[in-house]
Structure 1
Amino acid sequence: MQRFQRIRRGLFLSAILAAAPLAAQAAWPDQPIRLIVPYAAGGGADNVARVIAGPLGEKLGQSIIVENRPGAGATIAEGVVARSAPDGYTVLYDTFTYAVNASLRKLNFNPSKDLTPVALTATAPLILVVNPKVKANNLAEFVTLAKNPDNKVTYASYGIGSAAHLAAELLARDAGLTMLHIPYKGGAPALVDLVGGQVNAYFANASSGLPYVRNGTLRALAVSSAKRLNTLPDVPTVAESGYPGFEVLEWHGVFVPHGTPPDVARKLADAVQAVISSPDVVKRLNSLGIDPSTIPPSGAQAYIDDQVKRWSTLIKDRNISLE
């Protein structure tokens, strides 16, 4: 009889322990969530993360604490999240750089195995801008200018492997250009030197480049998106300027550690999707020159896998390195 009671107690305890993770998932979130941003406060990614964080916290019923962990091309923050407990309380807010880091840097984690994309939040086109002294009024004229090595055309970026850098390298490959890359530590100093004439061209993100185009300080030659920008309807895309299929977008996304319970990841994804679809958030993102992502959470993994493949191929083809 005692043996039978012990067995019953054992089965009862086992049932409780088995149900505990499910109960924890159902209760998620029951504490604040850390949103780790790999870039400095006040930058483009940080601004978008903060636009989303408030409404996301309201949607989930918990505070979203934005934590900036810049450095090492975003890999410090990526590593922090990759090594965090897969419980949904430490979330990564990353961008385009995520897709190129494994091709450029030695990592102490494996992005494809240690991190899982939950949802894409936003995309931002780039604008190819030049100093007005550059004798090119459109992309065709710029290509002709840059094909001549005697002209020594230079282009700026906000770092090796950035969207601005790889957009220019993609154009150089497709158009057969000879240009010198001048990397800066951020978009602001790149724009300062472009305006000053120290460099000739730059694929600026729309939010930072638009004011200079509107006041005539810089000349826009083309945009990197598949469609023209509503804010620059007279500026053609690179694709329609003679390079079909050319498209480069700075994208933003939300990631969790691999092994996060599917129900938790799904709840987070649904909340993110609801937030970026809300009229107020759409309006605030548009004011920054950014569009909410049109890719559903179910397509996030495939999109990022494609980005990793695409840019690793270009990095290899163009022999790009951090040295």
Structure 2
Amino acid sequence: MSGIGKRALLAAAMATPALAQGSWPNRPIRFVSPFAPGGPQEVPARIIAEHLSQRLGQAVVIDSRPGAGSAVGTQYVARETDGHTFLITTTSFATLPAILKDPGFDAFADLVPVTLISESSLLLACRSDAPFADFAALLAAAKARPGRISVASAGIGSSTHLAMALLMNRAGIELLHVPYRGVTQSLTALLAGDIDIWTGDPSIPAAQLQEGRLRPLAVTTAARSPALPGVPAIGEAVPGYAVPFWFALLGGKATPPEAVAVLMREMAPLRAPDSALARRMAGLGATLLLTGPEALTARLRQEVPQWRQVAAAAGITPE
């Protein structure tokens, strides 16, 4: 063999491992949203998808598969084996095992954590003419009149329901839970005077808060929200209470480690304070995370059993 031929063979041999290591992605990537189109999780999903499409040279598409409180889309990703299908979900991923006897997936065995995307607070609010001026007054009124103050949720077993169930458990109070079919319906009920307390994403009643029709009482986290620094956190008054609302990205169980590494590497520029994602999430009152698989795994190991315990204490029977 000539010297040129030997050099060509050596170059090919050296190039092969590099090709193997860089083989992901080799087809379009799907971000499956387990909620109806237009939900809040699509805000970070679309920014990340556009960013990754440009960085990876592969299309990243959003695929909405709603149903059964996010179980349908989650099950779909859990069964996928192409290594290019991911779930972009919310806190509901940790709460579903608490409210469904068989959610159709194992939160720890059937999906591969990629990263927490962001977290924010839920908000407790009342009408501006409510008799309690602040969260401390609400707690005092609830203790004086057990079961008489009504609080709405987006449905039995929803994140808002479990957040209030945890509050009752940790604060030693009893509120009258009134489930609705969503946060919009429950907000309408609050404004109409049908219920006393509303809880949900603070961006939803932003106009009513600005107009002074609603009064913010507290946020559902251990510390105050950067978006609402003047509103106390429930954790300040109720030790051990924290219910952050988060977005996360997970892959099907066939997702190769290389895929997680590539995604985290290529999303790194989005962590910059001036990135499109950071600015958008800050505008929604959320803290950008993108902290990788270990932090998401730790979050799930803490929250999945917690919500099972909360649901059981609240008398929520898994369906």
Query: Would you call these one fold, judging by a TM-score over 0.5?
Result: yes
Partner Cα separation in structure 2 for residue 243 and residue 202 of structure 1: 19
Deviating beyond 4 angstroms after TM superposition, the runs of 4 or more aligned structure 1 residues are 22-25
**Counterparts of 1:121-132 in structure 2 under 5 Å?**
121-132=117-128
Quick one: structure 1 residues 235 and 107, their matched pair in 2 at CA, closer, same or farther if it must change by over 3 Å? Answer: closer
Residue 143 of structure 1: CA displacement? 1.4
Quick one: structure 1 residues 264 and 48, their matched pair in 2 at CA, closer, same or farther if it must change by over 3 Å? Answer: closer
The amino acid that maps onto 1:243 is V
2:32/2:88 contact within 8 Å kept: yes
1:94/1:254 contact within 8 Å kept: yes
Within the alignment, does 1:66 sit opposite 2:59 as a pair? Answer: no
Quick one: structure 1 residues 274 and 309, their matched pair in 2 at CA, closer, same or farther if it must change by over 3 Å? Answer: farther
Within the alignment, does 1:248 sit opposite 2:236 as a pair? Answer: no
Which of these residues, 212, 220, 227, is aligned with residue 223 of structure 2? 227
Alpha-carbon displacement from aligned partner over 1:189-215 (angstroms, at most 9, x marks no partner):
111111111111122212223332222
1:160/1:322 contact within 8 Å kept: no
Quick one: structure 1 residues 282 and 162, their matched pair in 2 at CA, closer, same or farther if it must change by over 3 Å? Answer: same
2:196 corresponding residue in structure 1: 200
**Counterparts of 1:160-175 in structure 2 under 5 Å?**
160-175=156-171
The amino acid that maps onto 1:79 is Q
1:227/1:237 contact within 8 Å kept: yes
SS in structure 1 of the partner of residue 316 of structure 2: coil
Quick one: structure 1 residues 211 and 228, their matched pair in 2 at CA, closer, same or farther if it must change by over 3 Å? Answer: farther
SS in structure 2 of the partner of residue 112 of structure 1: coil
2:307 corresponding residue in structure 1: 311
1:103 corresponding residue in structure 2: 98
- Unmatched 5+ stretches in structure 2: 1-12
Within the alignment, does 1:45 sit opposite 2:41 as a pair? Answer: yes
1:55 corresponding residue in structure 2: 51
The amino acid that maps onto 1:262 is P
SS in structure 2 of the partner of residue 27 of structure 1: coil
Residue 23 of structure 1: CA displacement? 5.0
The amino acid that maps onto 1:126 is L
Within the alignment, does 1:215 sit opposite 2:211 as a pair? Answer: yes
1:238 corresponding residue in structure 2: 234
Name the Cα RMSD after superposition. Answer: 2.3
Partner Cα separation in structure 1 for residue 146 and residue 232 of structure 2: 27
Residue 235 of structure 1: CA displacement? 1.5
The amino acid that maps onto 2:210 is R
2:152/2:197 contact within 8 Å kept: yes
Quick one: structure 1 residues 185 and 277, their matched pair in 2 at CA, closer, same or farther if it must change by over 3 Å? Answer: farther
Quick one: structure 1 residues 59 and 158, their matched pair in 2 at CA, closer, same or farther if it must change by over 3 Å? Answer: farther
SS in structure 2 of the partner of residue 207 of structure 1: coil
1:124/1:206 contact within 8 Å kept: no
SS in structure 2 of the partner of residue 36 of structure 1: strand
Which of these residues, 133, 141, 146, is aligned with residue 145 of structure 1? 141
2:81/2:253 contact within 8 Å kept: no
Residue 107 of structure 1: CA displacement? 2.5
Partner Cα separation in structure 1 for residue 290 and residue 254 of structure 2: 26
Alpha-carbon displacement from aligned partner over 1:139-195 (angstroms, at most 9, x marks no partner):
121112222447721111122232221111111112222212222222211111111
Partner Cα separation in structure 2 for residue 244 and residue 109 of structure 1: 33
Residue 70 of structure 1: CA displacement? 0.9
SS in structure 1 of the partner of residue 108 of structure 2: helix
Residue 99 of structure 1: CA displacement? 0.5
Tell me how many residue pairs correspond in the alignment: 303
The amino acid that maps onto 2:32 is I
Within the alignment, does 1:78 sit opposite 2:78 as a pair? Answer: no
SS in structure 1 of the partner of residue 122 of structure 2: strand
Partner Cα separation in structure 2 for residue 126 and residue 80 of structure 1: 28
2:221/2:243 contact within 8 Å kept: yes
SS in structure 2 of the partner of residue 206 of structure 1: coil
Partner Cα separation in structure 2 for residue 274 and residue 33 of structure 1: 19
Quick one: structure 1 residues 278 and 221, their matched pair in 2 at CA, closer, same or farther if it must change by over 3 Å? Answer: closer
2:285 corresponding residue in structure 1: 289
Partner Cα separation in structure 1 for residue 304 and residue 150 of structure 2: 27
SS in structure 2 of the partner of residue 229 of structure 1: coil
Quick one: structure 1 residues 238 and 108, their matched pair in 2 at CA, closer, same or farther if it must change by over 3 Å? Answer: closer
Which of these residues, 263, 268, 279, is aligned with residue 268 of structure 1? 263
1:182 corresponding residue in structure 2: 178
Partner Cα separation in structure 1 for residue 152 and residue 267 of structure 2: 34
Quick one: structure 1 residues 150 and 116, their matched pair in 2 at CA, closer, same or farther if it must change by over 3 Å? Answer: closer
Partner Cα separation in structure 2 for residue 150 and residue 263 of structure 1: 54
1:33/1:65 contact within 8 Å kept: yes
Within the alignment, does 1:117 sit opposite 2:113 as a pair? Answer: yes
Residue 257 of structure 1: CA displacement? 1.2
Alpha-carbon displacement from aligned partner over 1:114-138 (angstroms, at most 9, x marks no partner):
1111111011111110122321011
